[in-house]
Structure 1
Amino acid sequence: MGLDFPHGGHLSHGFMTPKRRVSGTSIYFESMPYQLDESTGLVDYDMLEKTATLFRPKLVIAGANAYARDFDYPRMRKIADAVGAFLMMDMAHISGLVAASVVADPFEYSDIVMTTTHKESPVLGVDLESAIDNAVFPGLQGGPHNHTIGGLAVCLKALAGQLMELGYKLVSGGSDNHLVLVDLRPLGIDGARVKKILDMASITLNKNAVPGEKSALVPGGIRIGSPAMTTRGFTEKVFVAIADFIHEGVEITLDAKRSVSGSKLQDFMKFVTSHDFPLAD
């Protein structure tokens, strides 16, 4: 059981749609998602517990792709124990924060902790559990490049605070880690259009689904991470300026949307890449 992809989970944690098994983990294993409480933007642990009691998984996965809050590891440990499951934490997005003791430590409660380094460093995956070391090497794989394993230290509070000051709605109301997930639906705009405009201004972020919507093709949110900026020495003051730049990009997106005659995404994309749109040059 892993966090559902439209609710911030990772594709590799068993994601499937009603019509198709998308991730290899959903093809080779029987998977069941758990979700957020859409009223709070937080993991619905009560529903996770009820579903786990019925589904009886062998593995419960903590960790996410677009979830800005800590996981309740003691609660998840209790749920896993009740159904005889292992608890695995995928901390690929927050390993630097765990190392710096900025967020909760998953090691005390997890059977397996895994991460990657290539959010900022060379590509590498790491399983932090001695009990499976020999099964992986020399049993299945070669040795990792240990000299590339490093930690990350990031800060996102200034960015999140400025975005909220500007009136943006953050999923779960804030952030405990290195990312913020912004719900743009109250503004009448979507993540695909905002991402396009910000790409044209050389500001890179993700369009991202937010809780409560059906499609990931034209999602209602954007996901913003801080590692690329913090590793370049950006300070809190600079993060406030970044929030202002993003806000300006959203305002430009709204103006552009109002100037397009058609309502489809392709109409918007055609307009903003034409000579009629100033940023196109």
Structure 2
Amino acid sequence: MEHEHVRGVDPAVADALEGEIDRQRETLQMIASENHVSRAVLDAQSSVLTNKYAEGYPGERYYGGCEFADEVERLAIDRATELFGAEHVNVQPHSGTQANQAVYFAMLEPGDKVLSLDLTHGGHLSHGHPANFTGQLYEVEQYEVDPETGYLDYEGLADHAEEFDPDIVVSGYSAYPREVEWERIQEAADSVDALHLADIAHITGLVAAGVHPSPVGVADFVTGSTHKTIRAGRGGIVMCDEEYADDIDAAVFPGGQGGPLMHNVAGKAVGFGEALESEFEEYAERTVANAKALGETLADHGFELVSGGTDNHLVLADLRPSHPDTTGGDAEEALEEAGIVLNGNTVPGETRSAFNPSGIRAGTPGLTTRGFDEEDMAVVGDCIARVIDSPEDRDVIDEVREEVADLCEANPLYESD
């Protein structure tokens, strides 16, 4: 993948771009929120649509010359509608957080009440963390997973809702390895006359493929990212019933952002089209199967998995029982030296800082895109365990790095690699 035009103008940036593609080729990308898009999505996202301002919506723009921008956005909307079965879709948010922002801005007033999952139990910054605008604008209380099982405590959530009387209940998570029972959360929201926002940022592709239950048609609002388990490039999406359509659209533009990134919308259109193909369902199923295989391998090595396993694309391991002196940050650093890129992560009952937590989170979307299967994931799991068992052993790290190189060579990032 060459960047000759960049190199002719800015060699320093070209060097960084080439370094990044080499890094992706030669390492195992296991951050659960990352994936590898197709060359078609890359082409769409780097297209001349980056030159085009298109404030407004198809047929109602504030600038001229938007006929092709309209065509691309309508394709993205139509394909997302088919994928998810939503009545209304807005594909303009720049990120999942801005998709969430649109729902908050459309439906809440400053000081309204938000009930969401605690960040250390698998929630997300945009669900009410004090450092995020949600925690600064709204009154937030948070529910937790059951500390014994690692599963969502639906009864506790319902009881908390009765006590707190929120205006909106937020579901959907960034580090929760189990299926979500959307209907039970909807019941809790209905019982206190609250709205329900389901944030499927991590599982957008799994929901689209039907391998995870969908909150569309259950929750009042569904938001997501378009670059995690669905490979449509970086961005966000909001889905809702038609009754909320005008309010959501106004909250996206002009409420939360100006002109949409039309090149990103083009990437979404291409990626959604790819997700409508039968091969995508196979990909999503393999992503989950690979995560299960990874989790089983780590468990066989003595790692304690939060909730005991996984139903989706990620594995969350608590290092404290098996490796009490190793933090998630220690593990992340040693594994990256060995060519395995994942992240330290907080776990339920966290006793350390979020900057150097007690767990690790590993995802399988990117490796599955490269063609990894369950046998490969068992090898990867063994490599992870060996490094965390001996994070300062240079020989172990070098040995694993060689095995990673073999895996990458057998499963090239792009066909021409």
Give the TM-score range, shorter chain. Answer: 0.7 to 0.9
Highest RCO, 1 vs 2 (Cα 8 Å, sep ≥ 6): 2
- Partner in structure 2 of residue 239 of structure 1: 377
1:211 lines up with 2:348 in the alignment: yes
Matches within 5 A, 1:196-207: 196-207=333-344
Q: How big is the shift at 1:126?
A: 0.5
Secondary structure class of the residue paired with 2:341: coil
Alpha-carbon separation, structure 1, partners of 2:335 and 2:133: 32
Distance of 1:137 and 1:173 partners within structure 2:
39
CA positional deviation for 1:166: 2.1
Give the corresponding residue for 1:128.
239
Distance across 2 between alignment mates of 1:241 and 1:46: 39
Q: 1:190-238, CA deviations, whole angstroms, 9 ceiling, x for partnerless residues? A: 2111111101111100101111123323211100011110111111111
Distance in 2 separating the partners of 1:236 and 1:230: 9
TM-score (norm 1): 0.84
Q: What residue is the counterpart of 1:148 in the other structure?
A: 267
CA distance in 2, matches of 1:137, 1:39: 40
- Aligned pair 1:13/2:137, yes or no? no
Root-mean-square deviation over aligned CA pairs: 2.1
CA deviation after TM superposition for structure 1 residue 147, in Å? 2.8
1:73 paired with 2:182, answer: yes
Query: Is 2:320 the partner of 1:185?
Result: yes
| Count of residues paired in the alignment | 255
Opposite residue 205 of structure 1, the aligned amino acid is L
Aligned-pair identity (%): 39
What secondary structure does 2:139 align onto?
A: coil
Q: Letter of the 2:249 partner, please give it.
A: N
Correspondence 1:98 to 2:98? no
Amino acid at match of 2:379: A
Pick aligned residue for 2:292 from 130, 137, 157: 157
Q: How far apart are the structure 2 equivalents of 1:163 and 1:58? A: 41
Aligned partners of 2:259 and 2:117: how far apart in 1? 30
User: Which residue identity is paired with 1:190?
Assistant: T
Paired with 2:232 and 2:183, the residues of 1 have a C-alpha distance of 31
Post-superposition offset of 1:109: 1.2
- 2:266 aligned partner, one-letter code: H
Q: Determine helix, strand or coil for the equivalent of 1:36.
A: coil
How far 1:162 moved relative to its partner? Answer: 1.6
Deviation at residue 128 of structure 1 after TM alignment: 1.2
Q: Which one is further off, 156-165 or 218-227?
A: 156-165
- Give, in whole Å, the separation in 2 of the partners of 1:79 and 1:40: 21
Q: Where does residue 88 of structure 1 map in the other structure?
A: 197
Amino acid aligned to 2:153: D
Greater percentage in helix: 2
Letter in 2 for 1:222: I
- Which one-letter code corresponds to 1:96 in the other structure? G
* Corresponding residue to 1:169 among 288, 297, 304: 304
Question: 1:118 and 2:227 equivalent?
Answer: yes
* Structure possessing the higher radius of gyration over alpha carbons: 2
Distance 1:91 1:203 in 2: 26
Distance, in Å, in 1 between the alignment partners of 2:355 and 2:145 is 20
CA separation in 1, counterparts of 2:178 and 2:132? 24
The Cα of 1:167 is off from its aligned counterpart by: 2.1
Gaps of at least 5 residues in structure 1 are 16-20, 257-271
Residue 246 of structure 1 aligns to which amino acid in structure 2? Answer: I
TM-score if structure 2 supplies the norm length? 0.58
Q: Structure 2 counterpart of 1:75, which letter?
A: R
